[in-house]
Amino acid sequence: MFKKLKAHWKVNELNLLLIIATFALGGSLCGYAGRKILLLLNLEKGLAWILLYLLLITLLWPLCVILISIPLGQFSFFKKYLFKVWQKISGKRNRINIQKDIMNVAIFASGTGSNAQKIIASSFSGSNKSYRIALIVCNKPGAGVLQIAEKAGIPNLLIEKDRFYTGDNYLPELKRQSIDLIVLAGFLWKMPAPVISAFPKKIINIHPALLPKYGGKGMYGNKVHESVIANKEKESGITIHYVDELYDHGEIIFQAKCIVEENDTAETLAQKIHVLEHTHYPAVINDLAQKQNRS
């Protein structure tokens, strides 16, 4: 049970113990406070007393848990936890997820999330919002993209390799969020066949080179730029493409180019590529969303 809770809440063992302690102490505190309030009311024990007591502890419990969470260092967890509980009770989360006038996007990322941050910012900007980021999926605990998701108030999902490749591939979670498009933004795992089948031409990736050159297994990040420079290429760029069963192989959607100077290093070329990525990836997603929304 504890392993399941640890995985579900995405916390380590110490924080799991502190969370459980917060639940227990918060429950005790709200029970104590409820009885004290009833004593002040001089209400005789009976059905009315029981009903009022239940109402009081229901109202007091969130406040008591938040108070206890502060000294135990779990305020951030319980703030998000109570917000999710409120979404479920009010039905707000379901109403948001079933919006059909805009595209629901899941971003899969493994690192710092610079592309993800630009895509999120684009989804919030302008009056013509054609897509929203409904979920951030990450395979690395502590990755910077998770902090970006938290600051933006976007739900995140930390995935494990066994379940991703041999289990249900996290398809139930994607379905629950009504995902229309999966965007890979520095996600280093190969997408499993069941996910590709479930999202035909609904998964896109950005590659830091002009495919079909410099693609394939192991070709990512500075490895790509080093190969481009070693082969004395005059230009490089980005390729945005649909994802299929092979690395960097799906149908090309968009390409943009930059000049490779003689004195360029992998690092300076990477900076040029980042500018292209941050400029064009959100724009391509927006175009795809507008086409879907019109159909």
The residues annotated as belonging to the active site are 207
Phi and psi angles of residue 243, each rounded to the nearest 5 degrees, phi first:
-100, 130
CA angle 27, 31, 37 (to 5 degrees): 145
Helix, strand, coil distribution of the chain in percent, nearest 5:
55, 15, 30
Residue 203 and residue 195 in contact, taking contact as beta carbons nearer than 8 Å: yes
Q: Are 133 and 123 in contact (CB under 8 A)?
A: yes
Of 184, 205, 171, the C-alpha closest to 108 is 184
Contact between 16 and 6 under an 8 Å Cβ cutoff? The reply is: yes
Decide: residue 248, CB within 10 A, 0-12 exposed, 13-18 middle, 19+ buried.
Answer: buried
Residues making up the chain, counted from first to last: 295
What's the token pair of residue 231? Answer: 């082969």
The Cα–Cα gap between 102 and 132 comes to 7
CA-wise closest residue to 137 among 87, 195, 93, 83: 195
